[in-house]
Structure 1
């Protein structure tokens, strides 16, 4: 087999040239041509793939930018909501503190014990002190105060003039020194008497000393009594609400004229009703004072 390949090239003028190439050289040339052809094709293919990848990367980056912007917006809204919630909580705490002080002052002015008495039997667990100024702590305190104050007979059961104070006095009938267990409030016969707090009627009827009478138990060891009535509206065992009519001012029993004898007992002890009658005006003044202090 020939080891060379002869190539003949003719020109336009009829010139003929020939040259010989070895088979090995031809193989090398053909190999180089194939290599360059393959390389060019691979480069073109790679270039096309790179364009697709760049487009996909650009899309991913765009989506990432949108996600980051959305997350930043969400964080901003969350922060704003937290600030608003904190502002509301602070306002609620301030309001609770204000109400707590008002109720404390009201009850302290009439000598009501605000301590919570709970049983230590059948209870336990780790001790964690409740912060006094926490929302939960204030809520519990105010709830307890509100529950207590619901039972406190506040204000006068009837309008009128106090003609006889609580304590020592001269008896209006025999003129002898005596102890007056309540206050006498003078008003016209038939003036309406209202309940100064909710409760249950535990006694009602008539006797020579008290005339027509009603006794109401308000819970939390408060009890009120109403004597010398013209007429009673409620009977023993009946539940009453604050402001409900109990009866009418009269002159029944041992009495010198139309009036209401009004008594308050707390923890089975007679106390001066005047303190409780004056509570609404004291509370209004206290609220005005505290509101002015908070506005500064």
Structure 2
């Protein structure tokens, strides 16, 4: 027989009531109460946890907004920096192009046509055509031109007057037609002769035709010669700098008076030195095939 629990309830007027509840029913009621208690506790806990999660979510969203703003700022800065770099590159390209054209103009005025050659040895990889006016291409060209211009003997090796120019002339001693391979610059005896470009002394010495002479190699196929010197201050193998005094004007060898016979060779071909002298802005032309020239 199932156990029961009896409950007796008395009223204020003395009425008595009683009822019995089985133990199974009580257990069910206790289970329901426990369920509601646990459910309420879990709900409270979940509610508290949700509040924390919502706060964390809000913080994350705030961080995301800040990160997005920072990213937008960085992108704007990168775009600005890229534009500035592009502007600087364009300015550098313009500057290189102007320098290249200026050097080309100088070299063209003296009859020197330079081309930049790249080695064809060693190859491989896909072909990518380089832009016509790329920074690298202009840099290569200008570097080559600058290296060459250092070797070009610009200006006059001595202050003085050109008395005989390059080319055909009547020989001043025998009066016969002859070819003059340089220019004669007249100045007083002992005037200083300077190197018009950096170079190395190839040879010096004396012979009856040239008198005391010096030959300089300036690199890039340029050579200069100085004849009829009174004295020289260099020897073969010496390195000289542009503007360095290398000798004194004289009247040695086959000469009719104090002067310097000055020659320029490029690729073993004689060139007119006047074209190199007149590149300098201080050259002053004089009529009747005479010109007053000034040293560097």
Structure-1 separation of matches of 2:249 and 2:180: 19
Contact 2:116 2:141 in 1 (8 A): no
**Residue 17 to residue 197, structure 1, CA distance change in 2 (3 Å):** farther
Match of 1:150 in 2: 150
Match of 1:253 in 2: 253
1:87-121 CA distances to partner (integer Å, 9 max, x unpaired)?
A: 2211111111111111111112222131245665x
Unpaired runs of at least 5, structure 1: 283-296
Match of 1:43 in 2: 43
Question: Would you identify which runs of 4 or more consecutive aligned residues in structure 1 move more than 6 Å?
Answer: none
**3-state secondary structure, aligned to 1:47:** helix
**3-state secondary structure, aligned to 2:185:** strand
Structure-2 separation of matches of 1:2 and 1:128: 99
Is 2:191 the counterpart of 1:209?
no
Higher helix content, 1 or 2: 1
Q: Which has the higher contact order (CA 8 A, sep 6+)?
A: 2
Structure-1 separation of matches of 2:119 and 2:50: 79
Match of 1:274 in 2: 274
Structure-1 separation of matches of 2:40 and 2:129: 81
Which deviates more, 256-265 or 171-180?
A: 171-180
Instruction: Report the CA distance between 1:3 and its aligned residue.
Output: 6.7
Contact 1:132 1:138 in 2 (8 A): no
Is 2:53 the counterpart of 1:53?
yes
Structure-2 separation of matches of 1:106 and 1:25: 117
Contact 1:8 1:16 in 2 (8 A): no
Match of 2:236 in 1: 236
**Residue 177 to residue 240, structure 1, CA distance change in 2 (3 Å):** same
Structure-2 separation of matches of 1:42 and 1:16: 43
**3-state secondary structure, aligned to 2:254:** coil
Contact 1:210 1:254 in 2 (8 A): yes
**Residue 59 to residue 117, structure 1, CA distance change in 2 (3 Å):** closer
Is 2:21 the counterpart of 1:16?
no
Match of 1:263 in 2: 263
Structure-2 separation of matches of 1:118 and 1:31: 95
**Residue 82 to residue 117, structure 1, CA distance change in 2 (3 Å):** closer
TM-score of the superposition, structure 1-length normalised? Answer: 0.84
Structure-2 separation of matches of 1:57 and 1:116: 65
Structure-2 separation of matches of 1:181 and 1:111: 16
**3-state secondary structure, aligned to 1:281:** coil
Unpaired runs of at least 5, structure 2: 283-296
**Residue 118 to residue 2, structure 1, CA distance change in 2 (3 Å):** closer
